[in-house]
Amino acid sequence: MPLFGKSQKSPADVVKALKEAVNSLEKGDKKAEKAQEDVSKNLVLIKNMLYGTSDAEPQTDIIVAQLAQELYNSNLLLLLIQNLNRIDFEGKKDVAQVFNNILRRQIGTRSPTVEYICTKPEILFTLMTGYEHQEIALNCGTMLRECARYEALAKIMLYSDDFYNFFKYVEVSTFDIASDAFSTFKELLTRHKMLCADFLEMNYDKVFNHYQRLLNSENYVTRRQSLKLLGELLLDRHNFTVMTRYISNPDNLKLMMNMLKERSRNIQFEAFHVFKVFVANPNKPKPILDILLRNQDKLVEFLMKFHTDRAEDEQFNDEKAYLIRQIKELRPAADH
Amino acid sequence: MVNFEANNDHYSTVSLLGQCWDGLAIVHLAKHIPSDKMVAIKRFNMDKIKEESNLVEHEIILTRQLQHPNITRYYSSFVIGPEVCVVSPLMAFGSCRDLLNTHFSHGLPENAIALILREVLEGLDYIHKKGFIHRALRASHILISANGRVCLSGLRYACPIIEHGRWQRQIHSFPASTARNLNWLSPEVLEQNLQGYNEKSDIYSIGVVLCELANGAEPFAGMPTTLMLIEKVRGAAPQLLDCTTVPRDENNEIHGFSQDQANRRFSEGLHQLAALCLQREPKCRPTASQLLTHSYLKVNRRGLQLPDLLKPAIPLSDRVAQNTDELANLDTIQRMSDLELYTCEWDF
């Protein structure tokens, strides 16, 4: 026992103290104020063990291992996330930092926290519903994106019914929450190529029905972001099957042709990158070919005048020239 | 506590305050109708913004996650048409750069500098403790409210110190779209070498800001960028201009400086502070919290009020800000540009 200054609390002590404080915060009894203080204090202690501070190194691996083990055994991670809205402003961020650090923990090639969360998927579902609460949405967002880095966790989230709530979250009126939700949404749909391709193939109708709503959103930012992401998804070679399916549907072509004419130049430009896939397809289904043929002259004229100020963008100009040539050369398919 | 909703209908625009973000955004003075409070609304036209659109998002999300009396607050943000709007408190004296431009072309009075510096350091200390480096400290990112509260803004250039689950000892990333901030950046940020930099680079910028506030001019203004870099790497630093530093020729004449600057005398403490911050070696520079305990900032200035020290500058109020003509013009331009629509109709 040192004579001066505080003794170093053990991980077990800190976790126990934090759990008691969160429990009492949850009950909301008359000791709530004291509990709030204890929660904040112990969160900072844990955070400093994991990260160190600007003038102290983080704790040794043994201490961190003990801490992680205590966190799993006490079920504290879930408890913290469930009570996140009750924790004060700085404490909420500390929870996210503690969570993100523990999540990255590795023993050799194993990620014990990831394995732990796989057995407690409520953690993920609770985090996802966090987007419904203004005051914790951004904190939950940072934790969710950290989780999405791991394929096993991304899979649980993608294949859950809650995933479809993202189509609502990315469109909420508060811009910072909507764009944070969009980053998470995008991460889930693009990070693990094979997983994402399988997911999109198996859930094509449901996902693209929802996606259609984003492309027609009244919110400019949602419309632009979702259109850009659509282009990225379709042009990713892993999603070949999904792309083929998407560009066979004449309604999708009509939507893109209309978006080419939108008032916003950025939306026109993003729409171009989806539109080009329809034209470049060597096996155009008849309904697609028919639409393109009906508008052959208009399209050529339109594209000639399309974004002519992008002279320095070589790739864009090559692609545009290619599309114009392709459309000019379109001929009706021979009847069988 | 007023709830500033993310709903455009709750705000009525009063007048145009100016531009920010290199003209990518305009700032309106507006009234929050339910509470009758005046606010500033920044409007970013996202259709005109290209690479910087991530920065808009980054600044808003980061600012929303910081809460400190000396950091600009964003009450809410929402999308209306192609614009992202950010509601924040009205900072009625504008930025320190505005003050220098309008009333203090040779620098602010020393007491005002001391009061501003103290609050800037409080804000900066918070940012550092929360694990961020500001990377764009400059007079234009220091805002002052009607009652003299000082707030840091410009967080779009900030970067996290915590990466990959660790508190990094060095950062190597170079801030994006930062061309206009180069004069304030530390030699180690500009060098972009393997040694990287840390939060001490902000302390160097504090030193540059001190000189800016005291002298009125942007440090290194008009100097070619490469020369500025060479000077900084050599360890040459800007100085506070007063009778101890303004050079005189053999006839005791001054060249290129004002009489004001040549005759005044800043206190020893301020000179010392600037020199501490502007040291070439990052390790030698004090941290923000150490600077706050510097004897110069410990002097009791309780009787002093920043708004008094800033006279003749007066804070903007809804009465003095009536430039509705300009507003109407802007609206017309907006509407005209909306008229350029494509006329062609597809045949489905």
Task: Please report, rounded to a whole number, the percentage of residues in chain A having pLDDT higher than 70.
Answer: 97
DSSP B28-88: EEEEETTTTEEEEEEEEETTT-STTHHHHHHHHHHHHT---TTB----EEEEETTEEEEEE
This model's pTM is above 0.90? yes
Q: How far is CA B142 from the centre of its chain?
A: 4
A254 contacts chain B (CB < 8 A): yes
Per-residue pLDDT band for A2 (boundaries 50, 70, 90) equals very low
Give contacts of A 177-216 with B, CB under 8 A: 178-180
* pLDDT higher than threshold 60 for residue B338: no
Model confidence over A20-64: pLDDT tens digits? Answer: 999 999 988 777 889 999 999 999 999 999 988 766 788 888 889
Model confidence over B203-214: pLDDT tens digits? Answer: 999 999 999 999
- Residue range B248-255: average pLDDT? 84
The answer to whether the CB atoms of A298 and B344 lie below 8 A apart is yes
Mind telling me how many Å the CA of A202 is from chain B's nearest CA? 30
Mind telling me how many Å the CA of B43 is from chain A's nearest CA? 12
Residue B276 tokens read as 């501490």
DSSP B133: E
Model confidence over B295-313: pLDDT tens digits? Answer: 999 988 888 999 999 988 8
- The enclosing H or E element of B17 equals strand B11-20
Nearest to B59 by CA among B45, B77, B80, B47: B77
Residue of B nearest to A55 (CA): B169
Per-residue pLDDT band for A15 (boundaries 50, 70, 90) equals very high
Residue of B nearest to A299 (CA): B346
Residues of B whose CB is below 8 A from A228: none
Mind telling me how many Å the CA of B211 is from chain A's nearest CA? 28
B47 contacts chain A (CB < 8 A): yes
* pLDDT higher than threshold 80 for residue B145: yes
Mind telling me how many Å the CA of A320 is from chain B's nearest CA? 18
B192 contacts chain A (CB < 8 A): no
Size of interface A-B (CB pairs under 8 A): 91
Instruction: Give the per-residue pLDDT at B315.
Output: 87
Lowest mean pLDDT among A174-178, A250-254, B320-324: B320-324
Nearest to B348 among A138, A175, A291 (CB): A291
Mind telling me how many Å the CA of A263 is from chain B's nearest CA? 6
Model confidence over B69-105: pLDDT tens digits? Answer: 999 999 999 999 999 999 999 999 999 999 999 999 9
Instruction: Give the per-residue pLDDT at A1.
Output: 44
Spatial distance between the Cα atoms of A122 and A141, rounded to a whole number of angstroms: 16
Residue B261 tokens read as 């600057």
Nearest to A16 by CA among A103, A76, A97, A81: A76
Residue of B nearest to A291 (CA): B348
Nearest to A265 among B7, B47, B57 (CB): B47
B170 contacts chain A (CB < 8 A): no
Asked if B246 and B137 touch (Cβ cutoff 8 Å), the reply is: no
Average pLDDT, chain A: 93
Q: Beta strand pairing status for B37-45 and B25-32? A: antiparallel
Model confidence over B309-321: pLDDT tens digits? Answer: 998 888 887 545 5
Spatial distance between the Cα atoms of B264 and A169, rounded to a whole number of angstroms: 59
Task: Please report, rounded to a whole number, the percentage of residues in chain B having pLDDT higher than 90.
Answer: 66
The answer to whether the CB atoms of A173 and B7 lie below 8 A apart is yes
Per-residue pLDDT band for A245 (boundaries 50, 70, 90) equals very high
Spatial distance between the Cα atoms of A10 and A22, rounded to a whole number of angstroms: 18
A287 contacts chain B (CB < 8 A): no
Model confidence over A305-318: pLDDT tens digits? Answer: 999 999 899 999 99
* pLDDT higher than threshold 70 for residue A7: no
Residue of A nearest to B287 (CA): A54
Long-range Cβ contacts of B289-292 (<8 Å, 24+ apart): B289/B125, B291/B121, B291/B203, B291/B206, B292/B118, B292/B121, B292/B122, B292/B125
